[in-house]
Amino acid sequence: GVPRSEFATRDYYDVWLPVLAPSEPLVKAAHAAQTDAQWRAFQRAFRAEMAKGEAGKVLDLLAALSHGSDFSVGCYCEDEAHCHRGVLRSLLESRGAAVLPAGS
Q: What is the C-alpha separation between 34 and 36, in angstroms, rounded?
A: 7
C-alpha to C-alpha distances, 61 to 30, 45, 48, 67, nearest whole angstrom: 26, 22, 19, 11
Encode pLDDT of 72-91 as tens digits: 887 767 777 778 888 999 99
Q: Indicate the domain borders of the chain.
A: 4-94
Encode pLDDT of 92-103 as tens digits: 999 999 988 776
Encode pLDDT of 9-43 as tens digits: 766 667 778 899 999 999 999 999 999 999 999 99
Q: What was the pLDDT predicted at 12?
A: 63
Q: What was the pLDDT predicted at 66?
A: 94
pTM to 2 decimal places: 0.80
